[in-house]
Amino acid sequence: MQQKVTRYAGATFTQVILAGYTVLALFPIVLIVINAFKNRAAIFDSPLALPNSESWSLIGFEKAMKNAHFFSFFGNSAIVTVTSLALILFFGAMAAWALSEYKFRGSRWLMAFFAFGIMVPIRLGTVSILKIMVSLDLVNTLTALVLVYVAQGLPLAIMILSEFMQQIPKELKEAARCDGVGEFKIFFQVILPLIRPAVATVAVFTMVPIWNDLWFPLILAPGEETQTITLGVQQFIGQYATDWNAVLASLSLAVLPVLVLYMFFSRQLIRGITAGAVK
Amino acid sequence: MSHVSLKNLKKSYDGKTDVLAGINLEIEDGEFVVLVGPSGCGKSTLLRMLSGLEEISGGDLEIDHARVNELPPAQRGIAMVFQSYALYPHMNVYKNMAFGLKIQGAGKDEIDRRIRHAAGILKIDHLLTRLPRELSGGQRQRVAIGRAIVREPKLFLFDEPLSNLDAALRVQTRLEIAKLHRDLNATIVYVTHDQVEAMTLGDKIVVMHDGHIQQAGTPLELYQRPANLFVATFIGSPKMNLLEGVVTNASASGMTVTLAGGQVLSTEVDGTRAAAGDRVTVGIRAEHLWENQDGSERFAGTVNLVEHLGEANYLYVTLTTGHDVVVRGHGDREVGLGDAIRMSAPSAAFHVFDRDGVAFTRLKPGNLRSSKG
């Protein structure tokens, strides 16, 4: 009895902590979304109030949509995020497989090199990156962003994926080798399907910072044609006057694609967890 | 037809110490060879060297008289069944079996024919669309065997395939593997640490220890004429009783040994190699120590512990000479702890080993009447 009560109290405590964290994390997002649907006066009068019939307004969305480049910003963000994500997952998985499965001269050093990439923020190298991009004539291209994000995302992807790959039973690979399956086929048809949940985890972790990044778009691709949505939103923020309706509306819209991608990957994640362990 | 020949096969991980030190073995077509030994004896390493998953450090491996040392697993014509089954978890049973064939480039009809055939033999027709995680341990084991069968290999390799099954299923699957061997007339190399599996399945048993082959022979040969102390104690359950002694008289027709307690035993072994005064070890199996006075060599002692198996019981007895031995008694008889019992054994039942553990040839192995209780 006593034990049961203790356990119940423990569980409650955990739930309270988690709920508190959720509120903390969601608060700014909720604030943005509710204010996106209010008129300018209402935003300043009572920022915490829900929109009612009086304060309801879609003016922010209208302004945002009217902006000629708004959809191209979205497109740029989508292209950069999806391309980077695909490249990170593809090369990350392949590198992780090579580092965890094959022992070759320098493999430990290579692993350490990638671990180093997790520890050192890539922004430290911004000046050099900019110099390189200038000399490669890649400034104001989406390619520049993709390259930087791939470099930024690879180390963590490799770490997480190689951890998962090491858990795949050795016999499975050996059975495949006895079956005459080539190393590439083993990777693509045996290993990759098995680490799908890990790939989804990495995808989620990698995708969000890329979509939200303001730093590199601002430095490497600030041109009208190549602005991403996070950078594009800044247009509505002026030195003297800020169009809060438009800012909040575009930010609300900017959350949507990540949310969709997240839902797509998290389904994989949950499926992976519930699928049962590999015997 | 397949003939496998191991010539002075060596394995070393660091180039200095040999894990396997020159293994010589011939495996005939259709033969069921069991590699058996305690953990770490090198049996699994040897199997993996046959399969091509482990590099061969020295010597020659020939399959059908062609050297295959450097060939990758798939080109050796082997199929392996793993202890953990190693089924592809994301493919259903049919795809698990088809995967290797598809890679080899077999036609769709051919693949289907082979899978139906194998599934028929193993009685897993109804499971073909299931995923491995939806199968029981025994069913998974069959699928793993099925995956080996469809490849129609020259040589089957089994790596402790029954270790993950429960006791009842293990016996049943053991019978099925034996039947499979007969039906397919397959050449099989089978690794196990379980001597019962080895005795029941093998045409030829290879007992390994410390990277060496201790003895290779039929199950009965190993039981009746163990070449050395290791094989004598490894084969047979419970372990053979060992008694230390000194040779008093040795000739080609027999040997008399004085045990540590002063008792004199006459044994029927070829004693030409021995001389009076040599230290020897005398072995006697529990089932050859009878609880009667029919045998010529007699012992007396008290019972310390009784294990009831139903049809028999094992009595742990301390002899009057101070030795501890195990005796197989009749299951119906009630024996109490502390009871004094008298036993005997025929002189032909004894094994004798010299100081290095090498056996003297027994003159009349086998055909010993079993205990009358």
DSSP assignment of A37-100: TB-HHHHHH-TTSPP-TTTB--HHHHHHHHSTTHHHHHHHHHHHHHHHHHHHHHHHHHHHHHHH
B154 has pLDDT over 50: yes
- Cβ A194–B89 below 8 Å, yes or no? yes
Other CB atoms within a 10 A radius of the CB of residue A16 amount to 10
Can you tell me the mean pLDDT for B27-48? 92
Residues A43 and A62: their CA atoms lie apart, in Å, by 17
- Enumerate the residues of chain A whose CB falls inside 8 A of the CB of residue B99: 176, 179, 181, 189
Q: Which residues constitute the domain of residue A52?
A: 1-57
**CATH number, position A211:** 1.10.3720.10
Is A62 among the domain residues? no
Tell me how close the Cα of B71 comes to any Cα of chain A, in angstroms. 11
pLDDT tens across A91-102, in order? 999 999 999 888
Out of A169, A175, A194, whose CB is closest to B90?
A: A194
- Enumerate the residues of chain A whose CB falls inside 8 A of the CB of residue B132: 279
Is A43 among the domain residues? yes
Residue A103 near chain B (CB below 8 Å): no
A266 in the same domain as A149: yes
A101 in the same domain as A11: no
- Cβ A171–B90 below 8 Å, yes or no? no
- Cβ A177–B90 below 8 Å, yes or no? no
Residue A278 near chain B (CB below 8 Å): yes
Residues B286 and B31: their CA atoms lie apart, in Å, by 31
- Structure-token pair, residue A129: 């990156």
A81 in the same domain as A47: no
Domain count, chain A: 2
Out of B52, B82, B90, whose CB is closest to A175?
A: B82
- Enumerate the residues of chain A whose CB falls inside 8 A of the CB of residue B85: 171, 279
Residue B193 near chain A (CB below 8 Å): no
Out of A171, A178, A185, whose CB is closest to B73?
A: A178
A151 in the same domain as A99: yes
Overall fold of domain B4-230: Rossmann fold (3.40.50)
A242 in the same domain as A221: yes
CB pairs below 8 Å between A and B: how many? Answer: 71
Give the CATH H-level superfamily of domain B241-353: Nucleic acid-binding proteins (2.40.50.140)
A97 in the same domain as A46: no
Nearest CA in chain A to B156: A178
Is A279 among the domain residues? no
Residues B20 and B208: their CA atoms lie apart, in Å, by 10
pLDDT tens across A165-198, in order? 888 888 899 999 988 888 899 999 989 988 888 8
- Enumerate the residues of chain A whose CB falls inside 8 A of the CB of residue B89: 194, 278-279
Give the SS3 label for residue B99. Answer: helix
A246 in the same domain as A204: yes
A277 has pLDDT over 60: no
Residues B174 and A94: their CA atoms lie apart, in Å, by 41
A151 in the same domain as A29: no
- Enumerate the residues of chain B whose CB falls inside 8 A of the CB of residue A181: 74, 99-100, 103
Range name among A247-256, A265-274, B23-32, B114-123 with the lowest pLDDT average: A265-274
A49 in the same domain as A184: no
pLDDT tens across B228-260, in order? 999 999 998 889 999 999 999 999 989 999 998
Q: What is the pLDDT of residue A93?
A: 94
Q: What is the CA radius of gyration of chain B?
A: 24
Q: What is the pLDDT of residue A278?
A: 42
Tell me how close the Cα of A175 comes to any Cα of chain B, in angstroms. 6
Q: What is the pLDDT of residue A279?
A: 39
Residues B32 and B47: their CA atoms lie apart, in Å, by 14
Residue A271 near chain B (CB below 8 Å): no
Residues A3 and A103: their CA atoms lie apart, in Å, by 50
Taking the model in full, what pTM does it have?
Answer: 0.79
A107 in the same domain as A53: no
pLDDT tens across A132-170, in order? 999 999 999 999 999 999 999 999 999 989 888 888 888
Identify the domain boundary among A57, A75, A104.
A57
pLDDT tens across B271-330, in order? 899 888 999 999 999 999 888 888 888 899 999 999 988 888 999 999 988 889 999 988
- Enumerate the residues of chain A whose CB falls inside 8 A of the CB of residue B103: 179-182, 185
A47 in the same domain as A73: no
Identify the domain boundary among A39, A57, A75.
A57
> How do the domains of chain B map onto residue ranges?
4-230, 241-353
Residue A137 near chain B (CB below 8 Å): no
